[in-house]
Amino acid sequence: MSTEISSAIDYYERHPISAEIILAKLNASRGHLNDLAPEELFPHDQDHYGGLAANDALAERAGIGKGTRVVDFCSGLGGPSRYFARRYGADVIGIELTPARVKGAQHLTRLVGLQNSVRVVEGNVMQVPLPDTSADVVISQEALLHVPDKARALAEAYRILKPGGRIALTDWIAHRPLSDADRKLMWQGMAVADLYGLQTYADLIRRAGFSVNSVEDLTADWGVILKQRLAMYRKLREEAQAAGTPAGHDAFYESYVRFVDLVNDAALGGGRFAGQKLT
């Protein structure tokens, strides 16, 4: 398989976390997949930095509660969407571009009986297939880094939110410009589009029409988390190869190793942003 990618879809079709590998792990540990509880998926399906605690931080900043209509931009396999539904009683729609991950998310959601409160649909966050003023909250976790036009995605978030609606997201930030070699590696390995500094990103959210209520630099926390995730990915790759399921592409691992180094050197990092649509 070529290591070259041309889009985020290419990246996620080869990602080492998949519905198949999650279910293989659960089947191996349980002996069957009957009567799965959502909580049994949570150790495996949270493909973002910080796990359940990161979900809770976004929920607190976005005011997610029972009956909140949440739209999860770039929702992947739907792990956070299921968590917000189960833990907080939210009604969640996930927007996901990669067909294989939409299918996987729908399957996992049905297996744990949350299909009435979680829907993951195929769509592009630069052209969200939802009507105006139809959501209370938009969230996203480490995903808009793949989007070639973040301003357009943020404008879509603004469009679909009701007046007073909230946005809360985490994403990569750049503390200093990447070299041409690193920029190319981040694209080829992880489909990373343009990156912004912390305050520039906050300004982008403001220009979409939001007030910005909080801006947090997560770089130091991510340095620790990412070292752990790199070890996890290496283990997942070995398990995927043993199970005969997709094990990810070589460029991903090369770029991820470099990414961890860049975060620990404070060249790259993470930001958490929360804002509100006032009108």
Q: What is the pLDDT of residues 135-159, one digit of tens each?
A: 999 999 999 999 999 999 999 999 9
Q: What is the pLDDT of residues 197-217, one digit of tens each?
A: 999 999 999 999 999 999 999
Task: Supply the pLDDT for residue 200.
Answer: 98
Identify which has the larger pLDDT, 238 or 34.
34
Q: How far, in Å, CA of 238 to CA of 259, rounded?
A: 21
Measured between alpha carbons, how far is residue 8 from residues 13, 49, 144, 182 in Å?
8, 18, 10, 18
Q: How far, in Å, CA of 142 to CA of 193, rounded?
A: 12
Task: Supply the pLDDT for residue 183.
Answer: 96
Running DSSP on this structure, what letter comes out for residue 208?
Answer: T
- What percent of the chain shows pLDDT beyond 70? 94
Edge-to-edge strand list for the sheet holding 161-174? 118-122, 91-96, 69-73, 135-141, 161-174, 268-277, 210-217
Task: Supply the pLDDT for residue 240.
Answer: 66
Average pLDDT, the chain: 93
Q: How confident is the model at residue 76 (pLDDT cuts 50, 70, 90)?
A: very high
Measured between alpha carbons, how far is residue 162 from residues 66, 82, 90, 185, 212 in Å?
17, 22, 16, 39, 16
- Domain boundaries of the chain, sorted by first residue: 8-277
Task: Supply the pLDDT for residue 246.
Answer: 57
Q: What is the pLDDT of residues 101-123, one digit of tens each?
A: 999 999 999 999 999 999 999 99
Query: Which structure tokens are listed for 27?
Result: 């089947």
* Confidence check: pLDDT of 3 > 60: no
Helix (H, G, I), strand (E, B) or coil at 188: helix
CA atoms within a 13 Å half-sphere pointing along the CA-CB vector of 263: 27
Distance of CA 57 to the CA centre of its chain: 14
* Confidence check: pLDDT of 243 > 90: no
Q: Which CATH architecture has domain 8-277?
A: 3-Layer(aba) Sandwich (3.40)
Considering the entire predicted model, what is its pTM? 0.92
Q: What is the pLDDT of residues 17-67, one digit of tens each?
A: 889 989 998 999 999 999 999 999 999 999 899 999 999 999 999 999 999
Task: Supply the pLDDT for residue 26.
Answer: 95
Q: How confident is the model at residue 182 (pLDDT cuts 50, 70, 90)?
A: very high
Q: How confident is the model at residue 1 (pLDDT cuts 50, 70, 90)?
A: very low
* Confidence check: pLDDT of 245 > 70: no
Task: Supply the pLDDT for residue 249.
Answer: 63
